[in-house]
Structures are given as structure tokens and as C-alpha cells.
Chains A and B, each alone.
Chain A
Amino acid sequence: MSVTAAPALPFGAALAAARPGEPSWLAALRAAARERFVAVGLPTTRDEEWRFTPVAPLGKLEIGLPAAPGTLRPEALAPHDFDPAWPRIVVVDGRFEQALSRLPDSAAGIRVLPLSRAIAEGVPEVEKHLAKTVAPEATPFSALNAAAFTDGLLVVVPKGADPGQPIQFLHVATDASADALLAPRLLVVVGEGARATITESYLSLTTQRHVTTTVAELVVGRNATVEHIRVQRETDAAWHVGFTAVDQARDSHYRSFALSMGAHLARHNLHAHLSDENIETLLYGLSLTRGEQVSDTHSAIHHDHPNCNSWEVYKGVLDDRSRVVFNGKVLVDPIAQKTDAKQTNRNLLLSEDARVDTKPQLEIFADDVRCTHGATIGKLNEQQRYYLQSRGIAGAQAEQLLVWAFAAEVMTEILQPTVRKALEADVHARLGEMTG
């Protein structure tokens, strides 16, 4: 007979796992991150950053690592494959699955690898960049991820190169992830004048509870162009805490779209550091919530040089008793003159019981800037509804059209057409369920 004591430390089992064969720099990084996580513990709602997003209950759960990756039929991934011709790195229950993945040839020095293999091969960009853009001490979960990450994605696009096709990262939880911690990590390094489109998808082929903590770091070189699409559609039983951060060099363009439609509780931190002049940062997102779901976005845009533009539009559609949290921080340093920053958060309530907590947080220390923000929480527009009625479109048809219109406006910001069409179809179907 064995007695299971309550864990002395949240995620203790996951943190204690041995990781033989890793290089010493990584072992040291993990040890420091583990120490950090143990020191700070899980945040509570008394912490301003986590005020509306209760993650402390995770500390009471017995969460380990998946014993072994589950098995799945390759066909199960087909609906989540944007294009079968594009490279695809598949991680199942935290482990790279070669048989389900499609690694490209490393032409023109472009590297697309599972992170575990990149570490084993000693790809220099890993040691150079890992945990630099998202420091382990940034949040308790970034510490947890650094200490416990198992696998993920490395993309290196060298100077002037263009992979030509989007690179897909697909993270899948199966029944083997029941009550387990999944900690994938992505590192994307795009060199000067290079281009890349990255898709990052999280899904569950299980209804079992799992805890996912992700970190994605993007290093965008001078005059480089990156489009990054993140899709979170895990099971309604999952807890999902992700951190994305981008460090942009001079003249670079970064465009992000984040779709959040899964998980019991989802939190996404999205941080952009505009570390030189003439940078463009475009952040778009859509949250669809129902039942008791919580979807929290915390963005932070740091302008620390002059003449940069950031543009942010996040939308939420909420049904039942679900909640959306949005916190948009824009920090403009004294040197960052001629900053043009605009932030918009709009939310559509389909139920009387849904709730939105939205907060712009502009900290502007330069005097010659244009920074605006706006937040709305509302129901369907009655003028639009009447206009549709007067054209013969009424009732559920009109409601579905208007809700779709609300969401579609931000979906059109996905530039990659195949990805946009696929996600539009998914969003359209979900909204049909929510309004039907």
C-alpha cells in the first residue's frame, strides 16, 4: 500500500525529473530556474498581474510528467495541418514525434528541428538565445517552463533567407497527458533581411485535464519580416499558460495573430521589445469563450527607441458565464520619440453572465508621441441588427452574421491566406455553436 502525500511543491514531480546528457549550460539554467520557481511559487489573485486569473488551484493538484507519449492516428492531425506540403514539427505529450513530423531539407542554412535535437547537436543559436528573450524570472511559469521543458521547436533562418513556406509547430495532448505538465518551448531566430511564417498550435486529442506551460522566443533581425500565428484550442479541462516574447532589431516587422478558443483557463503573455529604430509590431488576437472558460491576454510592448510603430487589436466573444481578461501595457521610454502606438480591445457579450476585465496600461515617458487606446464591452449593435432586418436578414441569421462580422474583422489581419481561411472556418463553426 502506498500513501500519496500532498505535494510539498507544486509540480514537484515534473521539476525533479532527471535530464541526463544535457549540456552543462542548460543544466545550470534549469537549476536556476527551478530555484526561482520554488522561491516565488504560484501567483495568487492578490498579485496584480494575476488578479482575475486564478492559477493557485494548480498547486493543489498532483501533476507529474507524462509517463510515455500517447499514440494517435496520423489522420487525427489532418484537420490541424494547414497544408500537407509545409514542414511540420509535431510534439505529442511533450515529446517530438518523428513519424508524424515533416522536417525540411536544411537548404540555404535554414534549420527547422525539434528543440531536443538542436540541443543534442549543439546548434549554436540555442545556447546563444535560449531563455534570453523570456528570462526564467519573468513570471513563475516562465521559470517553470525553463526548468521543465521537454521539447519544442528550433527555427533558424539565416541572413537573407526565406523558407518559402510556413513552418508549422503542432503540440498535441493525448490521454497520456492526464494530470501531467506539458512544457514545450520554441525558439525562432530570423536573421537580417530574412523572412519567416510560423504557426504554433496547441490541441488536445483528449478530454483529460492537463497543464500546459509554453514559452516562445522570437529573435527578429534587422529588416526581417515575421508572421506568427498562435492557436490554442486545448480541451475545456486544460490549464494553459503561455508566454511569447519577441525581440526586434532595426527596420524589422513582426505580425502576430493569437487565437484562443480552448482550455478551462488560458493565459497568454505577449511581450514585444522594440530595441532599435523604425520597427513595426502588429499584434492581433481573438478569444472565443463559453461555459466557465477564462481567457486572459497580457500584452506588453516596450518602445525603447524612436520612430517605431505598434498596433494592437484584440477581440473577445463571450458566451455563458465565461470571462475574458485583457491587460495591454505600452511602455514608451524617454528616448522613444515619434512613437506611434495604438491599442484596441473590443468585446462582444452573448450572455448576461459573461464578464470582461480590460485594462489599458500606458506608461509614456516621451513627449512627442502618438499613443491611443480604446476598450469596449458590449452587445450586438442594434442599428446593425435593424439594417440587416430591413434587408430581410433577421433572428438567428442576423445574429450569426453580426457575431461573425465582429470576429472576421480581426481574422482578416492574418496575412497567410491558407492559414487565414482554415482558421476562419474554425472560428465560424465555433461561433455557429455559440449563437445557434
Chain B
Amino acid sequence: MSLLQITDLHAAVDEVEILKGISLTVNPGEVHAIMGPNGSGKSTLAQVLAGHPSYEVTGGSVTLDGEDLLEMEAEERAWAGVFLAFQYPVEIPGVTNAYFLRQAYNEIRKARGLDEIDPIDFIDLLEEKLKVVEWGPEIMERAVNFGFSGGEKKRNEILQMAVLEPKLAILDETDSGLDIDALRIVANGVNRLRRPDSATIVVTHYQRLLNFIVPDYVHVLAGGRIIRSGGKELALELEEKGYEWLTGPEAAVAS
């Protein structure tokens, strides 16, 4: 059975339709890249899957492991195994990374009928997960994303992903604003977290990240629709020829 099944998905924000009929099947173990010009609807798709309350689904269906994802609140999607790495991670001054991560970890365990983790065991778990993003323990005492550089924020998203072990990870423009070292760390982290029973959707404007996270499939989104799907070589072709090769100049709408 497919992990994620998107069928003819339509979505609007402020009554403007952004997604105009997206269909996509993602199987366990796969990496899919969603590419497209600015305003094509890439980030909207990521937020709709995560359950952002500002986006209204106006048609179609989405299932995760056969369950209706669109019926779930954002937190229920997290409990079910959806994880969105934000393009703009939110700062939460006053809450340490350690406290935040432990609470998130425990909420997801509780939702799955498991006991809360022992705080000492959680420290051991964190120690392991920090290696994924090549960080020392100091980061855990800093407030969530507060005063973090752009690169640190993205690394912190990957750290959260490592701890929460989602079934479906969606990376929304995780490469934007990263220098080459940070890009390597983030991409290595994502690769280390790949499992046969989970899948990753990489949303990106540029082909650059896909040199590090090699996708099984590439989909080009424009004007709220997938206009082309192919293998990893499609990304290279796009890099060479630009999006206008597929879209023409007027296909873009607001994202």
C-alpha cells in the first residue's frame, strides 16, 4: 500500500485557488522532489499536508496509510507521523530546545498509547540524535530557534525530525539560505534518517539540494498543477534549461 496518496487536491487561501488538482503517490522508502518556480504552489502543498489552518482544501483527498489526512488537525497529523521542516522555523523565546523536544516527543508517544520517556533516557536519545546534525549538547539549552542563524534553524528542524522519526517528512525549501557546509550537514542528516518504512518529500526551487539528497522521482509544479514527472535526471534538465522550458512565462500564480 502507498504511504501517501494525494488525489486531485485543490486548495485555496483567502478564496484564491492555489492548488488546482494535484495527484501524487508516495511509497515507503521513496524520496520525491517537488520543484517549481516561485509562486507555483510548492509551499502551499507542503503546508496543506501539514495542516496549516489558513489553507482551505476545496477538493480532492489525501490519505496517509489509508487514513484521511484532511480530517485531522495539525497535531493529529504529527501524531500520525507527518513532519514538516519549515521554510521559516518559528522562534519561541523562553522555551529551551530540550524542553520543547521532550514535550513534542512525549505528546506523540502519548497519542500512540505509549508512556512518557524517562528524562534521563531522553538525554541519551538526544545525544544520539545530535550526531545526525553534528551538534554538541549546548544547543539544547538555547531557546527554540531564538537568535539562531538561518543555517542553525534549518539544522534544528532536521534535529527535530531525527527525534520525532516521522513516517512522512516534508522539507520545505530547507536549502534556502544555507551555505555549502550547512547544506552538506542538513542533507547528510536527511540521508541518515532514511528508512525503508518512511518517505521524504523535498520541496525546492533549486537542483542544488538534490545533489546531496538524491530523489527517486522529480515532479515539476507550476500554476498549481504537476506538469511533469520524471526521475532524478529531470532535475538536471531543469537546472540547465530553466522553468520556462516547461511553463512558458505566464504559468505562475501566488504561492
Contacts and interface: CB of A to CB of B under 8 A. Distances in A.
Interface string B90-107: 101111000010011001
A38 interface: no
A383, A394, A402, A407: most-surrounded residue (chain B CB, <10 A): A394
B93 A391 contact: no
B78 A391 contact: yes
B86 interface: yes
B95 A390 contact: no
A412 B79 CA distance: 32
Say what secondary structure dominates the interface of chain A: helix
Contacts of B221: none
B75 A409 contact: no
B50, B94, B143: most-surrounded residue (chain A CB, <10 A): B94
A52 interface: no
A14 B199 CA distance: 76
A408 B93 CA distance: 8
Nearest to B101: A391
B104 A393 contact: yes
B90 to A, nearest CB: 4
A393 B107 contact: yes
B94 A392 contact: no
Interface in B71-90: 73-75, 77-79, 83-84, 86, 89-90
Interface residues of B, number: 28
Contact of B104 (A383, A391, A405): A391
Contacts of B103: 393, 397, 401
A394 B86 contact: no
A387, A390, A401, A405: most-surrounded residue (chain B CB, <10 A): A390
B177 interface: no
Contacts of B108: 392
Contacts of B83: 390
A388 B78 CA distance: 10
A386 interface: yes
B92 A386 contact: no
B119 to A, nearest CB: 16
Nearest to A403: B94
Contacts of B107: 391-394, 397
A50 interface: no
Q: Which 6 A-B pairs have the closest CB atoms?
A: A405-B94, A394-B75, A392-B78, A409-B94, A408-B94, A387-B90
